Amino acid sequence: MQKRTFPAELESLAPIRDFVRAQAAPVLDTPAVYKLVLAVDELSTNVVIHGYGKRGIAGHLDVAVSIQDGFVSVTLEDQAPPFDASVAALPTPEMLSAPLEDRHPGGLGLMLIRDGVDIFHYERAGDRNRNTLIKHLADCRRPE
């Protein structure tokens, strides 16, 4: 398992993506890497903006990537107030097909998180939010 700690700020988003991409690229095919990295980015953005930022508190984001037999697991932990994005409401098909004049962008990040991985799990562990994203290798293993 590879683990790194990042300041919970928007400037950390690109380094977080680079870290996850570097770990996942050797085992996942290119589209799967992109979608996993996108899911991690959206989750990290939520933590930085809504978890820490709107409450005016500084903090860190711990990111751990584990490559195991059959899946890639990314765990993000933070000490922001509790928030379970895994059960938050997604945009409806009607909202997604609405004319751009009428559309609201809310919920798209949550949608991209769930679309990018096979399992999205949240738990509150002590004073920490722990979000785990799992991508199975079965259909998206990088060709030898």
Partner 1 sequence: MGLMIDTTLDGEQANIALTGELDASTVAQFKREVARVAATERFSVLCLRMQELGFLASAGLGALLEVYRTVSPRAAVVLVDVTDDVRATLEKTGFAKRMTLRSSSEL
The pair of three-digit structure tokens given for residue 62, joined into one six-digit string: 């711990």
CB of 13 to partner 1, least distance (A): 5
Strand intervals (E) in 1-142:
2-7, 60-68, 71-78, 119-125, 128-136
Q: Would you say 105 or 126 has its CB closer to partner 1?
A: 105
Q: Which is nearest to 117 in space by CA: 14, 64, 42, 23?
A: 42
Residue 37 CA to residue 94 CA, distance in Å, equals: 27
CB of 125 to partner 1, least distance (A): 26
The residues binding partner 1 (CB under 8 A) are 10-11, 13-14, 17, 31, 34-35, 37-38, 41-42, 45, 48-49, 91, 96-101, 103, 105, 108-109, 111-112, 115
Q: Would you say 56 or 126 has its CB closer to partner 1?
A: 56
